[in-house]
Amino acid sequence: MSAMIRCGLIRWWSPLSRPQLPWRCGPSISFSSASALTHIRESSSEIISILLCCCGREGNLRLGSCLHASIIKKPPFTNQPPPPPHATALVTYNCLLNLYCKCGDLYDAVKVFEDMPLKDTISWNSLISGFFKLGKLHSGFAYFKSLLESTIYRFDHASLTSTLSACGATESIGVVKMIHALAISNGYHKEITVGNALATSYFSCRFIESGMRVFNEMVERNVVTWTAAISGLAQNEFYGESLKLFEEMYHGVVSPNCLTYLSALSSCSGLQARKEGAQIHGVVCKLGIQSDLCIESALMDMYSKCCCMEDAWRIFESAEVLDEVSITVILVGFAQNGFEEQAIQIFVKMVKAGTKIDPNMISAILGVFGIDISHGLGVQIHSLVIKKGFASNVFVGNGLINMYSKCGELEESVKVFDLMPQKNQVSWNSMIATFARHGDGWKALHYYEKMRSKGVEPTDVTFLSLLHACSHVGLVNKGMQFLELMEKECGMRPRMEHYACIVDMLGRAGFLKEAKNFIDGLPVKPDVLVWQALLGACGIYGDIDMGKYAADQLAQAVPDSPVPYISMANIYSCKGRWKERATTIKKMKERGVAKERGVSWIEIEKKIYSFVVADQMHPKGDDVYDVLFKLFGHMRDKGYVPDNIFISNQDR
């Protein structure tokens, strides 16, 4: 019996023979507890240790504690003939400790630890990593500290790596630096696992340079090392550097693994690097891991972020298994690439099919709501949120605020916000944006003050919404102050959107010269957004000269955009300069720039009717125009006069 078990275990323990998939845990102990116990009476402590390890691996606390009981009843290490008894006792105790830690029973783990007649570094490490793996970081750090201060026991490389793993989660950079120093002074820094853990922790704490320094100075590097750096860079949004490193690895001696490909793909998503992403797609196909669910999700995400929904959809359709993540990815892809209807269809299908819904999917689908999606469905999703018990999720709450806000239900947004048990920066930003969107700039500023008084730090989006609010209320000085606050006090570099917002604000207030001066003084080359903002303002004030300048700049930036021509044509129209208007339109046509024709549509009893200007296609067109003219009559009687300012004489 004992030989059989041992033989099986040794084969399984050997890393070479251990299958990669789908085995994730050890062998199962199939015999019943009772029969196990009868054997145990005669078993050696070695076998008990092995059995305890097995129980630990598969989380069999019941059988494990039976074994523990049998040890207490008849301690194997005291009656066993072969010495040395202490060594055996230590191993058995360590296995026991490991069992309780793995099963999450830290209370008994500590009891075993305290009762151990003899401990070694492994005992300490087991307990410390047990605490960390169960998220009891405080106790873990406390035991690590005791180990450091102990005069009897010495820490080793494993104590350092398991403690480092907890530093990443808490972003405790101080502890990372201390462990780094300890590692160097004790010669453990050359240990590959320590180097890997150090690099990983530095990246988790956003100390990118330190992480890279550790990586660069490592004498030996394995897949884990490379992957730590590639994913560390990706997680800190250094996508380009991450991909560069991936390329270096790919041409080197160490082969990437599944995790490396996932990290590289996420960098491609961040960079919207379709070409590189597709290359990795090819590589994973060659390796035969393209059907791994994680790889599939990462690929779909990459294609979605590169606006290639057809490619993303192909993967989704051919996927044999779907889960919450892959569904979320496709929902976000459709939602953010302007395919709101498709996203809704998939979501509704999933709900109807009884697919497991999670909060991430909900916040993803809430992203489809905009001005042209009816809010009836939004209300249904809100009730689903309450039914599923997701109402306290921050992401879901934020999604609901925005859904109501974009559907024009301001009070509902406020209600959701007030009821949220936890709010984050995005929640506050969403409220500020909501008020800005609804034209209540003062309320937006008020919520900003409230946000700061609660100790919540603003983000760049906060400032964007504030600038938006200032723009609509005409608070030019306040807006300029916010820009300064953002740069000087918060140390943030404004994005082009911020600059465009300032130009918009100055322009709306009629400060066209100041807007141009502001653009001239920018530290970066202005882009489309900025010129569009200036051009828009010229349109409001009918400034032909400035408008021409802005339109020229815009046409240079985006040669195939109709916007500069149409805007200029409109400015000429409202000044009555029909000749220049005609020349502008002619120029646009000569350059082959096409204006996309505006299409409107209406849904009546699940049928969609679309129509364009002066449409004659509808079979009941005459009746439609009849009603339309009657409505015009009513409008005129009520005192509403059509605004023909942009329409030239020939079009009237």
Partner DNA sequence: AGGTTTCCTC
Binding residue (CB under 7 A) for DNA from 500, 509, 515, 585 = 500
> Which ranges constitute the DSSP H helices of 59-170?
61-73, 76-79, 85-102, 106-115, 121-133, 137-149, 157-170
The rounded distance, in Å, linking the Cα atoms of 321 and 327 is: 10
Q: How far is the CB of 428 from DNA (least distance, A)?
A: 8
Q: How far is the CB of 628 from DNA (least distance, A)?
A: 22
Q: Is 536 in the site for DNA (CB under 7 A)?
A: yes
Evaluate whether 265 touches 299 at the Cβ level (below 8 Å): yes
User: Of 501 and 551, which has the nearer Cβ to DNA?
Assistant: 501
DSSP 368-398: T-STTS-HHHHHHHHHHHHHHT-TT-HHHHH
Q: How far is the CB of 389 from DNA (least distance, A)?
A: 15
Binding residue (CB under 7 A) for DNA from 258, 268, 407, 473 = 258
Where is 210: in which H helix or E strand?
helix 208-217
Q: Is 297 in the site for DNA (CB under 7 A)?
A: yes
Evaluate whether 296 touches 321 at the Cβ level (below 8 Å): no
Contact letters for DNA, residues 433-462 (x by CB under 7 A): x---x---------------------x-xx
- Binding segment toward DNA, per CB under 7 A, in 195-203, 288-296, 544-552, 613-621: 288-296
- Binding segment toward DNA, per CB under 7 A, in 72-80, 216-224, 467-475, 598-606: 467-475
Evaluate whether 85 touches 77 at the Cβ level (below 8 Å): yes
Binding residue (CB under 7 A) for DNA from 97, 179, 224, 529 = 529
The rounded distance, in Å, linking the Cα atoms of 34 and 80 is: 22
Q: Packing angle between helix 375-388 and helix 394-406, nearest 10 degrees?
A: 160
Q: Is 324 in the site for DNA (CB under 7 A)?
A: yes
Tokens of 643: 């605004």
Binding residue (CB under 7 A) for DNA from 465, 570, 573, 584 = 465
* Chain CA centroid to CA 503, Å: 31
Q: How far is the CB of 336 from DNA (least distance, A)?
A: 6
Q: Is 468 in the site for DNA (CB under 7 A)?
A: yes
Q: How far is the CB of 598 from DNA (least distance, A)?
A: 10
Evaluate whether 427 touches 420 at the Cβ level (below 8 Å): yes
DSSP 254-297: SPP-HHHHHHHHHHHHHHT-HHHHHHHHHHHHHHT-TTSHHHHH
Q: Is 360 in the site for DNA (CB under 7 A)?
A: yes
Q: Residue 511 to residues 347, 494, 514, 552, 575: CA-CA distances in angstroms?
A: 47, 21, 5, 20, 20
User: Of 36 and 496, which has the nearer Cβ to DNA?
Assistant: 496
Binding residue (CB under 7 A) for DNA from 197, 208, 329, 571 = 329
Contact letters for DNA, residues 179-218 (x by CB under 7 A): ----------------------------------------
Evaluate whether 109 touches 116 at the Cβ level (below 8 Å): no
Q: How far is the CB of 406 from DNA (least distance, A)?
A: 7
Compute how many residues bind DNA; rule: CB under 7 A.
63
According to DSSP, residue 22 is labeled S
Q: Which residue has the tokens 């809010």?
A: 375
- Binding segment toward DNA, per CB under 7 A, in 112-120, 332-340, 483-491, 631-639: 332-340
- Binding segment toward DNA, per CB under 7 A, in 65-73, 178-186, 529-537, 589-597: 529-537
Nearest alpha carbon to residue 407 among 441, 366, 432, 372? 372
Binding residue (CB under 7 A) for DNA from 49, 225, 266, 342 = 266
Nearest alpha carbon to residue 235 among 279, 194, 205, 272? 205
Q: Is 398 in the site for DNA (CB under 7 A)?
A: yes
Tokens of 183: 């590692």
Q: Is 543 in the site for DNA (CB under 7 A)?
A: no
Binding residue (CB under 7 A) for DNA from 182, 394, 557, 624 = 394
Q: Is 363 in the site for DNA (CB under 7 A)?
A: yes
Binding residue (CB under 7 A) for DNA from 36, 134, 287, 293 = 293
- Binding segment toward DNA, per CB under 7 A, in 108-116, 182-190, 206-214, 530-538: 530-538
User: Of 126 and 393, which has the nearer Cβ to DNA?
Assistant: 393
Q: What is the dihedral of CA 263, 266, 270, 271, to 10 degrees?
A: 80
Binding residue (CB under 7 A) for DNA from 172, 532, 553, 573 = 532
The rounded distance, in Å, linking the Cα atoms of 93 and 87 is: 10
* Chain CA centroid to CA 345, Å: 23
- Binding segment toward DNA, per CB under 7 A, in 263-271, 554-562, 605-613, 620-628: 263-271
User: Of 259 and 307, which has the nearer Cβ to DNA?
Assistant: 259
238 C-beta neighbours (distance < 10 Å), count: 18
The rounded distance, in Å, linking the Cα atoms of 132 and 101 is: 10
User: Of 40 and 385, which has the nearer Cβ to DNA?
Assistant: 385
Where along the sequence are the contacts to DNA (CB under 7 A)? 231, 258-259, 262-263, 266, 269, 292-294, 296-298, 301, 323-329, 332, 335-336, 358-361, 363-364, 366-367, 394-395, 398-399, 402, 405, 424-427, 429-430, 433, 437, 459, 461-462, 464-465, 467-468, 471-472, 497, 500-501, 504, 529, 532-533, 536
